[in-house]
Amino acid sequence: GERSCTDMISQMAFFSVTKFYDYRLDICYLSSVYCSNCIYRHHFTVKNCFSSSKSSWVGVVGLEVHAQICSNSKLFSGSLVQFSAPPNSLVSFLDASLPGTLPVLNKRCVEGAVMTGLALNCTINKRSLFDRKHYFYADLPAGYQITQQRCPVAVNGMLTYNLCTGKNRNQTTLKSVRIKQIQLEQDSGKSLHDDARFQTLIDLNRAGVGLIEIVMEPDMTCGEEAAAAVRELQLILQQLGTCRGNMAEGQLRVDANISVHQPGEPYGVRAEVKNINSARFLARAIDYEIQRQIEVLENGEIILNETRAFDYKSGRTIPMRDKEGKQDYRFMPEPNLPPLIIYDNKTLPSNVNHQQVVNIDQIREQMPELPSVKRTRLVEKYNILTEHSITLMSEDGLMEFFETVAENTLANPRKVISWIINEFLGFLKQNNLTVRQSPFKPLALSELLDLLEKGVVSSSAAKQVFTEMCKKEGKSASQIVKEKELGLLQDQAKLEQICQSIIENHPKEVSEIHKGNWKVLNKLIGQVQKATHRRAAPNLVKAILEKKLS
């Protein structure tokens, strides 16, 4: 009878194991080059118990980032790329490594890598090569991963990012990290270990999904820098659309190579920390590891070149199971893929189908505005602070939301930004919502800010209106103002009447004022506002009271 590949795979899924080694994210070593353009370094000073001298240690951090390419199909096969599909439902013959299958490169993945390379100021290699990296692991069915070890698609780039500094983190420093290379490679499948039954379940849906591996030089000195660099990278990838960048879902995976040394000395032995699934944990893992290494060295012990995992519960890094000596990946050129040739307008041959080749210049034209450019533009156009522009860029869709509000209101952009960051973002964070899940459209906020600007509502009433808008009843700001009678009370006669009654009911305060203590006037203003549910025009109230009491 007929046997589909999926049938075969579902049959193969069970087998027993006792030991698991996680080799699949192992990467080749970074070159150890001292970074001269690094201005800012964390200095850790630790007292040595055995000597009175103080040693000044510097952390050295390099990152290897694996970004899943946002493409419809896998890097070398036609299987769809989807998240949370039923196990082994997205597996082609190649993904299951059936003998005789051959890889066919996905153009979209190459374009994603080239665009990422351009965004990170890399040199795009016009000719790059694929290699096989061998290791045995149950979720790597071919026994090798196709990657680009010798001649990757892009090299020698630079990532510039903002580091928040200062007491309240309200200052920013521009920093940069060199990108050593960007390479295309296959993702592995997933192993699910059932320790109770000594079984491993294999899901090959992820096997063969395209990855961009971004190798950064060890130009960072602490967790905060690394986290800021990763956040900026995440933004860039999302902006380009080359990766969704969700760390928790494994679309962006970061390994950190960490060592410490004393300035002027060669770099120390590195440890690699894996399994970090958020920027916050990345910072914590790195800082912990740097401290740990300093303490080890201060105690006269040595650092092992090992792989460690970050345990987010304890906040510590712990050694992963030993790899039984060093793994030799036995790299070999991939014989089934010809060299990857990338063209530009100058080298594009006239006789090729333009649909079938990758053109650097064409990709450059299609590139969206990068986050750094956007931030500069925002600061210049709206006269807002750099810190605000960073905040606007840090939430998906927030900048667009802000711009739409600002373009459609009379209110000053700085007022708009304050509302966006304090009220709107605050509300979203509190309710764990994304910008897209906002209960109202940006134009609704524009309208509210207009009402405030025109003096139709007081700023405190505006906040009430905002709270109402968040209830997602689809009512416009003016509708809410009308229904809840939140409009500013400007009726002179009515206000005079209210003020009069307040004066009559507060003889004690009135006599205080008559004695010359005008500070008490604020208390009376407060009473008027209370009586009017904070709708009274404050300047009018003040004028009326002053007139009546003088």
- Please say which residue, 200 or 275, places its beta carbon nearer to another protein: 200
8 counts as binding another protein under rule CB under 8 A: yes
Q: How many residues does the chain have?
A: 550
CA-CA distances (angstroms) from residue 46 to 223, 284, 289, 301? 18, 19, 14, 15
138 counts as binding another protein under rule CB under 8 A: yes
CA-CA distances (angstroms) from residue 159 to 103, 231, 366? 32, 11, 20
Indicate which single residue of 59, 62, 87, 103 sits in contact with another protein (rule: CB under 8 A): 103
Minimum Å gap between C-beta 46 and another protein is 37
3-state secondary structure 427-480: HHHHCCCCHHHCCCCHHHHHHHHHHHHCCCCCHHHHHHHHHHHCCCCCCCHHHH
Q: Could you tell me which stretch among 133-141, 366-374, 413-421, 521-529 binds another protein (CB under 8 A)?
A: 133-141
- Please say which residue, 14 or 83, places its beta carbon nearer to another protein: 14
Alpha helices in 340-421 (DSSP H): 360-366, 371-382, 386-394, 398-407, 413-418
Instruction: Measure CA of the first residue to CA of the last residue in the chain; give whole Å.
Output: 103
9 counts as binding another protein under rule CB under 8 A: yes
Residue 270 tokens read as 């590195």
C-beta atoms surrounding 126 within 10 Å: 14
Minimum Å gap between C-beta 146 and another protein is 11
Query: Which among 82, 88, 85, 79 has a CA at the least distance from the CA of 68?
Result: 82
- Please say which residue, 96 or 227, places its beta carbon nearer to another protein: 96
Residues 18-57 that bind another protein (CB under 8 A): 18-20
132 counts as binding another protein under rule CB under 8 A: yes
Query: Which among 153, 126, 163 has a CA at the least distance from the CA of 213?
Result: 153
Dist CA 363 CA 351 (whole Å): 20
Beta bridge partners of residue 176, listed in sequence order: 160
- Please say which residue, 25 or 207, places its beta carbon nearer to another protein: 207
Q: Contact letters (x/-) for another protein, 292-331, by CB under 8 A? A: ------------------------------------xxxx
Query: Which among 323, 164, 308 has a CA at the least distance from the CA of 232?
Result: 164
Minimum Å gap between C-beta 4 and another protein is 6
281 counts as binding another protein under rule CB under 8 A: no
Q: Contact letters (x/-) for another protein, 190-209, by CB under 8 A? A: ----------x-x-------
- Please say which residue, 143 or 397, places its beta carbon nearer to another protein: 143
343 counts as binding another protein under rule CB under 8 A: no
Query: Which among 159, 125, 156, 145 has a CA at the least distance from the CA of 24?
Result: 145
Q: Could you tell me which stretch among 89-97, 457-465, 472-480, 524-532 binds another protein (CB under 8 A)?
A: 89-97
Dist CA 408 CA 424 (whole Å): 17
Residue 392 tokens read as 């606007």
Indicate which single residue of 93, 312, 343, 427 sits in contact with another protein (rule: CB under 8 A): 93
Element (H, E) at 286: helix 279-298
- Please say which residue, 100 or 516, places its beta carbon nearer to another protein: 100
- Please say which residue, 191 or 408, places its beta carbon nearer to another protein: 191
Q: Is 8 exposed, middle or buried (0-12, 13-18, 19+ CB in 10 A)?
A: middle
Q: Could you tell me which stretch among 3-11, 247-255, 470-478, 525-533 binds another protein (CB under 8 A)?
A: 3-11
Indicate which single residue of 36, 50, 84, 99 sits in contact with another protein (rule: CB under 8 A): 99
- Please say which residue, 327 or 359, places its beta carbon nearer to another protein: 327
Name the residues that contact another protein, by CB under 8 A. Answer: 2-5, 8-9, 12, 15-20, 93, 96-105, 132, 134, 136, 138, 141-144, 200, 202, 328-332, 335-338
